[in-house]
Amino acid sequence: MNDDPVIAGVGMTTFGKHLDRGLKSLGGEAARAALRDAGIEPGEVQAAWVGNAAAGLVTGQESIRGQVILRSTGIGGVPVINVENACASASTAFHQAAALVRAGVHDCVLALGVEKLYHPDRARSFAAYAGAVDVEAREEILASLQRSAVESGADTAATGAGRKRSLFMDIYAAAARSYMERHGTTVEQLAAVSAKNSRHGALNERAQFRTRLSVEDVLAAPLVAEPLTRPMCSPIGDGAAAVVIMSPARAAKVGVTRPVRIRACVLRSGEDSQAEGDAATKAARAAYERAGVGPEELDVVECHDASAPAELKAYDALGLCAPGESGALVEDGATSLGGRIPVNPSGGLLRKGHPIGATGLAQLVELTEQLQGRCGPRQVEGARMGLAHNGGGALGTDVAAMCVTVLSR
């Protein structure tokens, strides 16, 4: 008998600049929408996991973020677990919530991810990202990024890391230069990722940016850090996303008509030894094994495109192509809507936006709606199997936290 937990309901705010709204407003909207979608009342939720990465720095709210946010929705008294795990905070909340349902501890729980990054003092937003590395090694990291930039002739990237822009854009830029040198990937192929995701995001009413861009538009945009132009970098943003997770028996009892099965959810941390691949590669292999599927069986993917080259690297890690062939994959249209394996039909982080503590669950909202056939003009026809790839933080040359989830109809 199948005992995989199921997603019974989803909810999400628009992503963007919400200066007039706080965590309670954003998180409450997403949570209430997920409860309505599942057809249940707040009192039926037995526990909740709330992902957030930066409220302490940006808003000053520490320690009891989830309890504060959920009280306004009528969810109280039950266990509320606050989860912080860089850009993988929301997917980590989901991982923990699904595990407790699978274990039989609960049969109806909520996972919520919420973030506010816009602030009149932009330095606070940059500080949220700067803290997702080993801060005791910060000067060493900055020196390494500067050496990389100087050695590759990247004049813009040689100054201003962490001050004029998010430190992570310099980390992604350095990784992009290395990847391009190893595999012959071109800047036009990086731009093709951003252009593709802009076409997808234009179809998503909840996306932060909905303007269509051509490859030429992306290349002509202001430079952030070589080779990344502005549309190749995910924006800061505010927003929230939530899912209700149930046991199959509970879902059947309350009349959930289109449950989405959680086939696998694997959480890994980066490590120094990468002889068998980085954290994303290892998490993907484990997720495929646990789900009993391979990459060739996927119909749709939401991946962590915090920058355009990050999406190309994800193709490799997820086995969507042979290592180093990712540039050709996007250039050929294979990852566009209508292609062999559409990636980021939501617009991805580049266009949907990246409120870091909400991103992982936003991916799962998109996949759930895709598998239920609810995505309108961006619907992947006949989607039955989807994968989410969500990572965050940086340690050494690897991501600090990586979560890969496989869902099916």
Mean pLDDT over 362-374 rounds to: 98
Mean pLDDT over 147-157 rounds to: 86
Q: Got the DSSP string for 311-373?
A: HHHHHHHTTSSSTT-HHHHHHTTTTSTTSSS-B-TT-HHHHH---TTTHHHHHHHHHHHHHTT
What pLDDT, on the 0 to 100 scale, is given for residue 273?
Answer: 76
Of the residues 87, 321, 375, 403, only one is catalytic, namely: 87
Of the residues 354, 375, 389, 403, only one is catalytic, namely: 354
Q: CA torsion sign, 51 to 394 to 142 to 219?
A: negative
**Does the annotation mark 87 as catalytic?**
yes
Q: What is the model's pTM?
A: 0.96
What pLDDT, on the 0 to 100 scale, is given for residue 234?
Answer: 95
Q: What CATH class is the domain 132-233+264-408?
A: alpha beta
Residues of the chain with CATH 3.40.47.10: 6-119+237-260, 132-233+264-408
Residues in Cβ contact with 329 at an 8 Å cutoff, skipping those fewer than 6 apart: 315, 320, 321, 335
Asked if the model's pLDDT at residue 189 lies above 90, the reply is yes
Tens of pLDDT, residue by residue over 24-79, are: 999 999 999 999 999 999 999 999 999 999 999 999 999 999 999 999 999 999 99
Rounded CA gap, 161 and 167, in Å?
5
What pLDDT, on the 0 to 100 scale, is given for residue 347?
Answer: 98
Strand partners, 266: 404
Asked if the model's pLDDT at residue 1 lies above 50, the reply is no
Tens of pLDDT, residue by residue over 299-332, are: 999 999 999 999 999 999 999 999 989 999 999 9
What pLDDT, on the 0 to 100 scale, is given for residue 151?
Answer: 86
Percent of the chain with pLDDT over 70: 100
Percent of the chain with pLDDT over 90: 84
Q: Got the DSSP string for 209-221?
A: ------HHHHHHS
Which residue in this structure is represented by tokens 């430190």?
A: 167
Asked if the model's pLDDT at residue 259 lies above 60, the reply is yes
Rounded CA gap, 170 and 160, in Å?
9
6-119+237-260 maps to which CATH number?
A: 3.40.47.10
Which residue in this structure is represented by tokens 């490859």?
A: 215
Mean pLDDT over 205-233 rounds to: 97
Strand partners, 12: 241
